[in-house]
């Protein structure tokens, strides 16, 4: 358990009412432990899904990119698709009890069909999820969900235990922030357990203006996607991104 008071600076207390969005099967919205991009043909040789039925008609191929880790491995980052349901179930099955607890603030060994559908069916605007694949396996997932009628969104990400400490959380968060701004998101909000040092490291290394508050062992974080002087550009991850080991 870390000393939150010394690990997070600055600490501010916000008085506005909570705008948390309830999720299916969850006690409440929460953020969790971890650990754009020009169009190109990925080195991984993957063929993009060109079907246009349903939400795939809005599928943002421009968010697809290769990710090169510090060890030289090439992984693939892309938006989630509805047919990822089985992959998401396998991904969840590889998470340790600790990662599951920090992801859901409770022990949640299995995802329900309702949860799986909710997590894999997004509109790519108000709800967006990005995944990193190694071969045919999902190894990391990040998402935001807009609070209805606002320019703020809840953000969450989780990295499979055997892929943590490779920088994937930071890479996903950077890509998610870069994708959120042109979709009208100006603020990310997150909650995590006080002991979640890895996730807080991702936020600190993002370079985004951040304020936080602590209550009952949980940290509430606000990150601004707006740049000084109302500039519109955020740092954009390069298509092949050298991942650093701090997350």
For residues 238-245, average pLDDT? 39
Segments in the chain forming alpha helices (H): 4-7, 85-93, 97-104, 113-120, 168-180, 197-205
Residue 173 backbone zone (phi > 0: left; psi -120 to 50: alpha; other: beta): alpha
d(CA 5, CA 7): 6
Whether 137 is in a domain gets the answer yes
Whether 20 is in a domain gets the answer no
d(CA 145, CA 20): 10
Supply the range of the domain harboring residue 98: 29-39+61-238
Q: To 10 degrees, the CA torsion angle through 199, 200, 201, 207?
A: 120
**CATH value at residue 233:** 3.40.630.30
Whether 6 is in a domain gets the answer no
Give the count of domains, the chain. Answer: 1
The pLDDT score that the predictor gives to residue 247 is 43
Residue 117: which of 91, 70, 148, 82 has the closest Cα?
A: 82
pLDDT greater than 80 at residue 17: no
pLDDT greater than 70 at residue 242: no
Whether 18 is in a domain gets the answer no
pLDDT greater than 60 at residue 14: no
Q: What is the mean pLDDT of the chain?
A: 75
Tokens of 195: 């002991």
Residue 206: which of 171, 182, 179 has the closest Cα?
A: 171
The percentage of the chain sitting over the pLDDT mark of 70, rounded to a whole number, equals: 65
């Amino acid at each position: 358990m870390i000393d939150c008071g010394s690990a997070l600076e600055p600490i501010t207390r916000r008085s506005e009412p909570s705008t948390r969005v309830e999720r299916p099967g969850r006690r409440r919205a929460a953020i969790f432990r971890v650990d754009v991009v020009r169009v190109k043909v990925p080195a991984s040789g993957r063929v993009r899904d060109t079907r246009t039925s349903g939400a795939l008609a809005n599928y943002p191929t421009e968010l697809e990119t290769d990710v090169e880790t510090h060890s030289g491995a090439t992984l693939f980052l892309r938006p989630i698709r509805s047919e990822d349901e089985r992959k998401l179930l396998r991904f969840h099955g590889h998470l340790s009890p600790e990662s599951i607890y920090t992801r859901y603030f409770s022990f949640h060994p299995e995802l329900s069909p309702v949860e799986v559908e909710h997590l894999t069916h997004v509109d790519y605007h108000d709800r967006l999820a990005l995944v990193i694949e190694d071969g045919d396996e999902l190894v990391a997932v990040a998402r935001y969900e807009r609070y209805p009628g606002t320019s703020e969104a809840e953000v969450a990400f989780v990295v499979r235990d055997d892929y943590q400490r490779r920088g994937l959380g930071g890479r996903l968060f950077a890509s998610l922030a870069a994708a959120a701004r042109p979709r009208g998101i100006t603020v990310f909000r997150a909650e995590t357990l006080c002991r979640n040092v890895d996730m807080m490291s991702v936020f600190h290394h993002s370079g985004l203006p951040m304020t936080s508050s602590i209550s009952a062992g949980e940290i509430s974080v606000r990150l601004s996607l707006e740049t000084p002087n109302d500039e519109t550009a955020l740092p954009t991850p390069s298509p092949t991104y050298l991942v650093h080991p701090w997350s």
